[in-house]
Amino acid sequence: MYEIDPTRTDLIAEFDRNPGGPHSPELALLVNRLRLMPMEERTIIVCTKRGVEWTLAKMPTARGAKLEYYDDLVFDDYDAATKKVFRMRWQAVTGIAPV
């Protein structure tokens, strides 16, 4: 599995410039690795008001269980929500909060 180098802050900057891609091969590997986190650690984006509001939530550990919403993480910009999820997953995998 792809190992994330926490010193590669250049990849964070690249993601911030274009969260929807296309991404460089190195960033694509990183994003795919972050998507493969264990379900109980995975933060996702939920559209809470069609096209105007997105809230972050934690995936449940059991199938059919309710999502755990982060009430303080509500966005009116999808890209901002995407960037936040990227940073939360980065920190969960590396143990280091990105700048």
Share of the chain above pLDDT 70, in %: 100
The answer to whether 46 and 67 have CB atoms below 8 angstroms apart is yes
- Spell out the domain ranges in the chain: 9-94
pLDDT digit string (tens) for 31-66? 999 998 887 778 999 999 999 999 999 998 888 899
Share of the chain above pLDDT 90, in %: 83
Count other Cβ atoms within 10 Å, centred on residue 63.
6
Task: Tell which residue, 62, 17, 10, has the closest CA to residue 39.
Answer: 62
pLDDT at residue 2, rounded to an integer = 84
- Residue 91 has which token pair? 């920190």
